[in-house]
Amino acid sequence: MNASTTTMRVYGEATDDQVMDSVAEAVRDASKVAAEHATAAKNAIAGTDLIRSVSRITYTGAYAVSFGIVYAAVFVTQLVPQDNPLMHGFSDGARAAMDALKEA
Protein backbone atom coordinates (compact mmCIF):
# COMPACT_ATOMS: atom_id res chain seq x y z
CA MET A 1 0.00 0.00 0.00
CA ASN A 2 2.89 2.21 0.61
CA ALA A 3 4.05 2.02 -3.00
CA SER A 4 0.63 2.84 -4.39
CA THR A 5 0.31 5.81 -2.01
CA THR A 6 3.67 7.12 -3.20
CA THR A 7 2.62 6.63 -6.79
CA MET A 8 -0.64 8.46 -6.13
CA ARG A 9 1.25 11.33 -4.55
CA VAL A 10 3.59 11.67 -7.48
CA TYR A 11 0.65 11.42 -9.83
CA GLY A 12 -1.28 13.91 -7.64
CA GLU A 13 1.68 16.32 -7.61
CA ALA A 14 2.04 16.11 -11.35
CA THR A 15 -1.64 16.89 -11.74
CA ASP A 16 -1.31 19.84 -9.37
CA ASP A 17 1.66 21.12 -11.39
CA GLN A 18 -0.30 20.76 -14.58
CA VAL A 19 -3.21 22.62 -13.05
CA MET A 20 -0.91 25.39 -11.84
CA ASP A 21 0.69 25.62 -15.29
CA SER A 22 -2.74 25.84 -16.87
CA VAL A 23 -3.79 28.59 -14.44
CA ALA A 24 -0.56 30.51 -15.06
CA GLU A 25 -1.05 30.23 -18.82
CA ALA A 26 -4.65 31.38 -18.51
CA VAL A 27 -3.58 34.41 -16.44
CA ARG A 28 -0.91 35.26 -19.04
CA ASP A 29 -3.45 35.00 -21.84
CA ALA A 30 -5.95 37.10 -19.91
CA SER A 31 -3.39 39.82 -19.24
CA LYS A 32 -2.38 39.84 -22.90
CA VAL A 33 -6.00 40.15 -24.02
CA ALA A 34 -6.62 42.89 -21.44
CA ALA A 35 -3.62 44.83 -22.72
CA GLU A 36 -4.86 44.47 -26.30
CA HIS A 37 -8.32 45.68 -25.31
CA ALA A 38 -6.82 48.62 -23.42
CA THR A 39 -4.85 49.59 -26.51
CA ALA A 40 -7.95 49.28 -28.69
CA ALA A 41 -9.96 51.41 -26.25
CA LYS A 42 -7.21 54.04 -26.17
CA ASN A 43 -7.17 54.17 -29.98
CA ALA A 44 -10.96 54.44 -30.08
CA ILE A 45 -10.90 57.34 -27.64
CA ALA A 46 -8.23 59.10 -29.70
CA GLY A 47 -10.38 58.61 -32.79
CA THR A 48 -13.36 60.08 -30.95
CA ASP A 49 -11.33 63.19 -30.11
CA LEU A 50 -10.54 63.66 -33.78
CA ILE A 51 -14.18 63.24 -34.76
CA ARG A 52 -15.25 65.63 -32.00
CA SER A 53 -12.73 68.23 -33.19
CA VAL A 54 -13.88 67.98 -36.81
CA SER A 55 -17.49 68.21 -35.67
CA ARG A 56 -16.76 71.28 -33.57
CA ILE A 57 -14.92 73.01 -36.44
CA THR A 58 -17.80 72.23 -38.81
CA TYR A 59 -20.35 73.57 -36.34
CA THR A 60 -18.35 76.76 -35.71
CA GLY A 61 -17.86 77.35 -39.43
CA ALA A 62 -21.56 76.86 -40.22
CA TYR A 63 -22.51 79.13 -37.33
CA ALA A 64 -20.15 81.88 -38.51
CA VAL A 65 -21.39 81.68 -42.12
CA SER A 66 -25.08 81.69 -41.14
CA PHE A 67 -24.55 84.53 -38.65
CA GLY A 68 -22.75 86.55 -41.31
CA ILE A 69 -25.54 86.01 -43.83
CA VAL A 70 -28.34 86.80 -41.39
CA TYR A 71 -26.51 89.80 -39.92
CA ALA A 72 -25.83 91.20 -43.39
CA ALA A 73 -29.46 90.65 -44.43
CA VAL A 74 -30.79 92.39 -41.31
CA PHE A 75 -28.30 95.22 -41.76
CA VAL A 76 -29.36 95.74 -45.39
CA THR A 77 -33.07 95.61 -44.53
CA GLN A 78 -32.57 98.27 -41.86
CA LEU A 79 -30.79 100.58 -44.32
CA VAL A 80 -33.44 100.30 -47.02
CA PRO A 81 -36.64 102.33 -46.57
CA GLN A 82 -39.50 100.15 -45.32
CA ASP A 83 -42.26 101.07 -47.79
CA ASN A 84 -40.89 100.01 -51.18
CA PRO A 85 -41.08 96.97 -53.50
CA LEU A 86 -37.75 95.53 -52.25
CA MET A 87 -38.94 95.35 -48.63
CA HIS A 88 -42.33 93.97 -49.68
CA GLY A 89 -40.48 91.26 -51.63
CA PHE A 90 -38.33 90.42 -48.57
CA SER A 91 -41.34 90.15 -46.27
CA ASP A 92 -43.37 88.11 -48.79
CA GLY A 93 -40.40 85.77 -49.35
CA ALA A 94 -39.94 85.33 -45.60
CA ARG A 95 -43.63 84.49 -45.17
CA ALA A 96 -43.52 82.00 -48.05
CA ALA A 97 -40.45 80.32 -46.52
CA MET A 98 -42.14 80.02 -43.14
CA ASP A 99 -45.30 78.57 -44.75
CA ALA A 100 -43.17 76.03 -46.68
CA LEU A 101 -41.48 74.95 -43.44
CA LYS A 102 -44.80 74.51 -41.69
CA GLU A 103 -46.08 72.29 -44.54
CA ALA A 104 -42.96 70.09 -44.56
DSSP for 44-96, written as a single string: HHHHHHHHHHHHHHHHHHHHHHHHHHHHHHHHHHHHS-SSSHHHHHHHHHHHH
Please state whether the predicted TM-score (pTM) of the whole model is above 0.75: no
Q: How confident is the model over 45-88, as pLDDT tens digits?
A: 666 777 888 889 999 999 999 999 988 888 887 887 888 888 88
Which range has the top average pLDDT, 11-25, 36-50, 85-99?
Answer: 85-99
